[in-house]
Amino acid sequence: MDIARTPSTPDGNPEMADAAVEPKAPPEIRREDYQPFPWLVPTTRLDFELGLEKTRVTARLEIERNPDADASPTIRLNGDGLELVSLRCDGGECAGHMMDGDDLVVTLEGDRHTIEIVTEIDPGANSQLMGLYASSGMLCTQCEAEGFRRITFFPDRPDVLSTYTVRMSGPKKDFPVLLSNGNRADMGEDGASHWAEWHDPWPKPSYLFALVAGDLVARSDSFTTMGGRKVELNVWVRDGDLERTEHAMESLKRSMKWDEDTFGREYDLDLFNIVAVSDFNMGAMENKGLNVFNTKYVLADPETATDGDYDGIEGVIGHEYFHNWSGNRITCRDWFQLSLKEGFTVLRDQLFSQDMGSAPVKRIEGVRVLRGVQFPEDSGPLAHPIRPDSYREISNFYTSTVYNKGAEVIRMMKTMAGDEAFRRGTDLYFDRHDGEAATCEDFVKAIEDGSGIDLEQFRLWYSQAGTPKVSVELSQEGDEAVLTLSQAVPPTPGQDDKKPMPIPLRVALFDRDSGSHSGEHLVVLDKARDSFRFTGFARKPVLSINRGFSAPVTIGRDIANDELVFLAAKDDDPFARYEAMQDLMVRHLVTASKGDLSDDARNAGQADIVRALRAVTDDDALDDLMRGELLSMPSQTYIAEQIEAADPGRIFEEREGLKAFLASELQDELHHIYDRAEKLPYSQSAEAKGARKLKTLVLSFAAARDPQKAAELAAHQYDRADNMTDRQGALMVLTGIDSAERTGRLLDFYNRYQGNALVIDKWFALQASSLHPKVIEHVKALAEHPDFTLRNPNRARSLYMPFTGAPHGFHAANGEGYRLIANLILDLDPINAQTAARFVPALGRWRKLEPGRAALMRAELERIAAAPKLSRDSFEQVTRSLG
């Protein structure tokens, strides 16, 4: 599952929320308490009589005792707000059954039984978008993590694997297309109604069940696997969206081929369906053979999608397809093992994206996400290991730590083992555990056995939270360079004392005179402190460390600006070069934002940054995609993470001031870059994408130096644009400038794309994230816009999530921005608790801010915590954020 991301009321109806009781802390679920389920469910048959307002579900479960579990006289079938119509056991009445909260508990004698359960549900009232719900006249399911229990009573846990046969029937005019997991076995008509039967031969947990019924059209194609199986491929969308599915289909075929070539994984059904849904809590879901996607990650053409959208579609389609093996054929034993499937699959989609595009740029983009989201998570009140020891609400653990840090941990194993040995380990993992519900330990053991490396100490990465801090010292002793490294993992909630973990660091030592190095080394720091010696240096070299971001750590080093300028100009590792450039700007902005920068130091620091940037603008060997990364300034969020008691207002002023200075000093170079980039016609080539990236970057620099002139240039770009990347880039700059050009182009953009939900999402997001001084007023006005609704997660996120990154909006000194997000959480929570809870971490960073803003932010969390009827999702996030 891809996160973009339980219910507060049984059926998700906000009117029902008035009757809800004040929330209590949900019970703590602990990993150490895991026990196998006492019953197996070898086969499940589901019969759906479909309707938007009433769907009847008949479930027939064949169950037998689990020989690997303690015997139990009862079977607990999870439910969530279900209406039980009837219950039969072995063809007759069930002698013993009872409701325990929302769960159905049935008493059984003997070893094998057939249980038949009939339930009725109202998909149209399900605003939580979990279970079976209605989306613009279509029926759709979302079952991960615990949504299946909103459809029928079932042991809704990932270690209960079953083969499913599904029959759906309903009015043909309402639901002309009927889809489920696996292969279609049969279909027919009965007057105005019709039916379809699907069978999935591969055992799966209930969270991978999927059903879609609605009026859809398909782009169809095929793929022949390396074993000769011809697979029918379909991308299902609403009528009118078909022309925007070509890129999605091509991405799917590339994913299938790449997984065969790189991991030896072949697809295992005769059919693969993707369905685009406009109301969806997440990015996409990997249900076996029937992937359900947020429309954002399916629909694209040059007029409506940016280059980033194209890349996102390719990456997410790859991610969900790769889950067929790393998540479906091998699933999780329990939800504590979530990173087993998500961390591994994120790594797989990252490697795929690197192979499909610019590998260095994709690596930098991945690190930027990690630092922008996961590092703050790791240093705050919501910090947790990639395999947690306990949770209260599982939906709150679909986090960047589980996904992105989980991927980095597996990438470290790959780095230490080497590509060939890592592949042997993954092959062993797939062979050993195919058809099982496995654990993170199973994966590590397979890599260990396949590669021959000892990962005993490395397992600490799975159990310890926090981002390690590595301190670096480089000294010279005779002709030896001595690299001394030390590590410390800071305390996190519930974990005060941490043990040293193996940290693989790729390093190179540059000769100052030649500007080159004799080769790269891999050093593994597995102690609190250790030294490594390198011979053959007449004088102290320049150190390039954590090349390729070989470990998810922060590096503390006492390095002179001259050496950073050297690395920014000469390092042959693209990430290390980028890192040197970022370090130059971050150290300058951190010192300035803390008020510790003298005039002389400011002038010297700015001059060093200009020297480094000129080396980038003048480097003809660079491609423009990488040039764009090297010219980009560090984000305000990343700068704030380096400061205790950060003042967001001061950081914003210093960052914009530096940007204006650089725009003035590099005016000629930037002007030349823009003119050159503007001449390239639109295409999806790397060269053209790099040119478009640079044009928007130059506009943002120009806006800091001369806003009115930049507005004219941005308006010119907007008017001439023949693609969304150029048009959106120009509008992004215009939204931060109070000018007639801003007003006119925002109106034109809306009128041009009115009715296209995904593009109107961009219209909301651009205004909410702008640098305009009246951004709060704009967001409040947009919340009253006729096109805005809280009931669609994409639309709610498009306005409010970008706002949490608006420096003088969200972080307004009077706390108005914090109050705006707190009000959103309270309004959204009874409608869609999962989406509401995703906004809480933005308020949970109060400990990192200066005292005035910290108090205001904390007060809003306290106000949310005191609200009655709060969902379990939001309640847990708020109370953990308060500490």
* 186 exposure class (CB count in 10 Å sphere: 0-12, 13-18, 19+): exposed
- Output the CA–CA distances (angstroms, integers) from residue 811 to 407, 843, 847, 864, in the order listed: 31, 10, 14, 18
CB 440, CB 40: distance < 8 Å = no
Contacts of 238 (CB under 8 A, 6+ apart): 136, 215, 216, 217, 276, 278
Q: How many residues does the chain have?
A: 883
Find the DSSP H helices in 620-768: 624-631, 636-641, 648-665, 667-678, 686-705, 707-720, 724-735, 740-753, 757-768
- H-helix or E-strand containing 842? helix 840-843
- H-helix or E-strand containing 319? helix 307-322
Q: What is the CA radius of gyration of the chain?
A: 28
Separation of alpha carbons 492 and 672, rounded Å? 49
Peptide bond into 145 cis (omega under 30): yes
Contacts of 386 (CB under 8 A, 6+ apart): 339, 343, 401, 402, 405, 406, 409, 440, 461, 462
83 is catalytic: no
CB 386, CB 343: distance < 8 Å = yes
The position carrying tokens 């660091």 is: 505
3-state secondary structure of 38: coil
Separation of alpha carbons 405 and 402, rounded Å? 6
Q: Could you tell me the two tokens for 87?
A: 């219950």
Query: Count of alpha carbons within 13 Å of 16, Cβ hemisphere only?
Result: 14
Separation of alpha carbons 763 and 757, rounded Å? 10
Separation of alpha carbons 261 and 249, rounded Å? 19
CB 831, CB 127: distance < 8 Å = yes
Q: Compute the Cα dihedral for 754, 756, 757, 763 and give only its sign.
A: negative
Q: What are residue 689's phi and psi, to 5 degrees? A: -65, -40
3-state secondary structure of 213: strand
Separation of alpha carbons 839 and 804, rounded Å? 9
The position carrying tokens 């995904």 is: 758
Please state the separation of Cα 447 from the chain's center in Å.
25
3-state secondary structure 543-598: EEECCCCCCCCEEEECCCHHHHHHHHHHCCCHHHHHHHHHHHHHHHHHHHHCCCCC
CB 162, CB 66: distance < 8 Å = no
Sheet with 469-477, edge to edge strand ranges = 529-535, 480-488, 469-477, 554-557
- Output the CA–CA distances (angstroms, integers) from residue 3 to 195, 282, 321, 403, 803, in the order listed: 33, 5, 15, 9, 19
β-pairing verdict for 103-107 and 96-100: antiparallel
> Which has the closest alpha carbon to 384: 31, 741, 727?
31
* 552 exposure class (CB count in 10 Å sphere: 0-12, 13-18, 19+): buried
Q: What are residue 475's phi and psi, to 5 degrees? A: -130, 170
Catalytic hit among 146, 197, 286, 320: 320
3-state secondary structure of 275: strand
Residues identified as active-site: 320
